[in-house]
Amino acid sequence: MDVMIELSGVSKNYGQLKAAENISFSLHKGEILGFLGPNGAGKTTVMKIITGFMPPDSGNVKIKGVGISKDPVGTRKSIGYLPENNPLYTDMTVEEYLRFIASMRGLGDPDKAISSALSKCGISNVSHRIIGHLSKGYRQRVGLAQAIIHDPEILILDEPVNGLDPKQIAEIRTLIRDLGKEKTVILCSHILSEVEAVADRVVIINEGRIVADDRIENLRERSKGGNIFVLELLEIPVDAIEKIKEIQCVIKAEPSGAGIFRIVAAGEKETSNLIFETAVRNNWKLAQLYMEGSSLENMFLDLTEGGKK
Amino acid sequence: MKYSLVIMKKELSSYFNSAIAYIFFTLFLVITGFLFFRLYFLIGVVSMNDFFSIIPWIFLIFIPSVTMKSWAEEKKNGTMEVLLTMPVKDVELVSGKFLAGSLFVLIAIILTSAVPLLVSMTGELDWGPVITSYIGLAFLASSYVAIGNLISSFTSNQVSAFLITAVTAFILMIIGTEPVYSVFPASMGDLIRNLSLSYHFQSIQRGVLDSRDVIYYLSIIFLFVFYNIRSLESRNW
């Protein structure tokens, strides 16, 4: 497979702050990579470096085998970029904006490129409206249209669904998934479910360093045995902790507040059922029982909070 | 070069799509016209000299108001990131913005040609110095634009871009006036005067287009455009 993006030892400091430290990964053609990390982890910095917006302090970035410092203009041609917060010229109409981008990219047939980007992003009906008057969801689509207008091989999207409502999020996700069929995509987000929904592979970054880089299935596999269940009882039986610990696949259980137990156990729904059955067998009065986040989420929290300690 | 024109077009249409351009032109014409004609009929000499002496000082307010947004606004809105990740060289972006600002101010300058036409109706006007002065104004205004664009690239705050540009241009103007350069010892005073924007304009205003003055303005423009490119290269915001 062709390597589309290759980072080796990329570092960037802002004064004392290490925004990116020795970041290395590569991305093959057709992959959708989720670039995940809490806010301020350095995701945007890495994206700005890949897109050639700013140079790294050290390290190399290659786009399709060509170093971006060697051919900054050429390498940018194969990248479509939706920056964080989706900056737009709000006083232009959608069409004016896309026409400007098309000319900046020196496209041969701007009309065709514009109409294709408009229809792919579902904004043909607002093409004559001023961007500043559009809703956030539509603006986000305009930003995406800007990023795909030249039909790039590589698409870099920095927090593309930030601040959208659930319906808009679902729509943009579908759009990204469609685009991902033919393009190499990096999707930045601080929300795991965002990335989980569309990406094949995840790179997790924390405080400027990569803490995990794996396929989603592998990460799920690795995180088995680490789910947290919360059980709340109306009355507090004396031997509850012991009884819970006896349940198969429970790794750890501890009380957290009046009648509340946090249980670390493998498995998902089956485990919930086992806990429930134990409660019924012992005549405990069950107030609630739920799984606190998915297994991947726990892992993400572990990985990113671990760095802070 | 092609992409410079794309940027230039975008900048110009952003001026003309809003009311800013028209307000700018109207105010500029009314103010220059008023300040000139207020004294013209009192003095009663058919000459445009006072007009060309006033305009460089009016530029101090008007041109920074054109250039303040050039980069500062892009930085503030984040569109800088879109712009700088386009497959376009920095030099093309910078020269596009410079051309747009210069062209815009040039339009304002051309619009003032109504003033010499009016003056020529009141008596015999010597057109020679008027024409060289207009050429001088174009050079002077372009220099202001180059300075203003560079300063706008240092900040994301348009008000500070405006003020710092106005102050910088003001300093470059007053060092060519006698009360300032005569404070210094003769040789140094001469050098300082030669560095000023106003001294070279005064020399053109007399009706002679000296190559030294032209080279001076071209160097100023080149210098500030060059540093503007450098300031984009060191992007770290």
Q: What is the ipTM of this complex?
A: 0.90
Task: Give the gap in angstroms from C-alpha A284 to the nearest C-alpha of chain B.
Answer: 57
pLDDT of residue B20: 84
Each domain of chain A, given as residue ranges in start order, spans: 3-220, 224-306
- In whole angstroms, give the CA distance from residue B153 to residue A179: 35
Task: Give the gap in angstroms from C-alpha B109 to the nearest C-alpha of chain A.
Answer: 27
Assign B237 a pLDDT band (cuts: 50, 70, 90). Answer: very low
Give, in degrees to the nearest 5, the angle at Cα A176 between A34 and A133: 115
Across residues B148-153, what is the average pLDDT? 96
Nearest alpha carbon to residue B20 among B158, B173, B114? B158
Across residues A165-191, what is the average pLDDT? 87
Structure tokens at A89: 């010229």
| Among the partner residues B18, B82, B89, nearest to A73 by beta-carbon distance | B89
Residue A12 pLDDT more than 90?
Answer: yes
Residue A269 pLDDT more than 60?
Answer: yes
| Interchain contact, A89 vs B235, CB within 8 Å | no
Identify all chain B residues contacting A85, using CB atoms and an 8 Å cutoff: 78
Q: Are strands A250-255 and A227-233 parallel, antiparallel or unpaired?
A: unpaired
Mutate which of B81, B232, B235 to disrupt the A interface (most A C-beta within 10 Å)? B81
Across residues A43-56, what is the average pLDDT? 93
Residue A1 pLDDT more than 70?
Answer: no
Q: Which CATH number fits domain A224-306: 3.40.30.10, 3.30.930.10, 3.40.50.1820, 3.30.70.100?
A: 3.30.70.100
Residue A226 pLDDT more than 70?
Answer: no
pLDDT of residue B57: 94
If you average pLDDT over every residue of chain A, what do you get?
A: 87
Residue B236 pLDDT more than 60?
Answer: no
| Among the partner residues A51, A90, A106, nearest to B85 by beta-carbon distance | A51
Assign A274 a pLDDT band (cuts: 50, 70, 90). Answer: confident
What lies within 8 Å, CB to CB, of B44 at 6+ separation is none
If you average pLDDT over every residue of chain B, what do you get?
A: 92
The pTM of the full predicted model, rounded to 2 decimals, is 0.86
Identify all chain B residues contacting A54, using CB atoms and an 8 Å cutoff: 235-236
Which one is predicted more confidently, B92 or A272?
B92
pLDDT in tens, A25-45: 999 998 999 999 888 888 999
pLDDT in tens, A63-92: 999 999 899 999 999 999 999 999 999 999
Confirm whether A3-220 and A224-306 share one CATH topology. no
| Among the partner residues A14, A83, A104, nearest to B3 by beta-carbon distance | A104
Q: How many CB atoms lie within 10 A of CB A149?
A: 25
Domain A3-220, CATH 3.90.1150.10 — does that match?
no
User: 3-state class of A54 per DSSP?
Assistant: coil
| Interchain contact, B10 vs A87, CB within 8 Å | no
pLDDT in tens, A140-173: 999 999 999 999 999 999 999 887 888 888 888 8
